[in-house]
Structure 1
Amino acid sequence: MTVSATHQQVMSCADAGLPVLQQLLAPYELEVVLIEEPAPLPGSFWGDPEAGLIGWQLFIRSHTPLQSALHEASHYICMDSLRRARLHTDAGGGYDEENAVCYLQILLADQLPGVGRQRMWQDMDRWGYTFRLGSAQCWFEQDAEDTCRWLLEQDLIDRHEHPTGRLRQGG
């Protein structure tokens, strides 16, 4: 597989470190599984090198973009327990949940040494995320109040906007 220019510009899971990623996601009971080539990457909705989800497992390669791993992990955290119980490849979810996923992946990036929200904003923009204000940072800082409120109501972040380590309940 050749690595595109976009892949070279964004932080990979290897750059962040597998043990650090595993530690970050452990409170959510989400197992990070490293898949070596040439084995297919299980559960990837968008295909290799994008992270995949099946059940409680997040599948990555060393060159999987970190933003992809955090995005899929955030889907797992933000979905209700009924969807989580039958999760296989397509995380689904509506508009509010997708926004919450993007917001939470930025907050999770703040928990990783050497990453942080600035880097996540850059990588999201480089990867092609689109926001009505033109960038991930502008959306996060100026247009995501409803998203922050949703995460608070679901007990996924606290009033200081720190991830709680809890999964969304209900269904």
Structure 2
Amino acid sequence: MTKSDDEHRAKRKTPYNERSDLDKLQSQWNKLSGLHLRDEPSAAIVRCSTAAEIAANYAIRHEWAEQTQFDAVVVDQFLFWANGLRGKVERLFVPIYFARPKKSKTAKALIASAEKINKVRNEVVHQGRFSNATEAGEVIAEAKRFIDIIVGLSQPGFDIQDRARSKGK
């Protein structure tokens, strides 16, 4: 017996571009885990940096919705302008979230983490450098810290690994 087209369509995943930032983040995290397990370290680095950037997008959209009257289209333009993880963190998130960014350990940690992730990602993407499993593991761990901190500021206790496990059930 076959399912009707409607039943089959209902069970399909939401198209990627129609997903929320957190669902996109989860998809990226799941994909990078598979790449890392299959010993594709350079691809895993690119994927984890994408996941970190999506986490930054989520945090920026959340904070700007809370603290400004800009609509989503304007915020998306700012995200495009900021161009990359480091720019989004330094130009859009830290200044609006932290009252005193230069005195905040969390703000400094986010900026430093974004720099580390971005540096290795850029070496892989722009210089064609190949990575190894150890380096990929380090960047993935850094991305996890970054993601858990930046998303956790609006969702206390957020843990991308726990979310991955609970979504898989």
Q: TM-score with structure 2 length normalisation?
A: 0.29
**Structure with greater strand share of residues:** 1
**Structure with greater helix share of residues:** 2
Which has the higher relative contact order, 1 or 2, with Cα contacts under 8 A spaced 6 or more apart? 2
Q: TM-score with structure 1 length normalisation?
A: 0.29
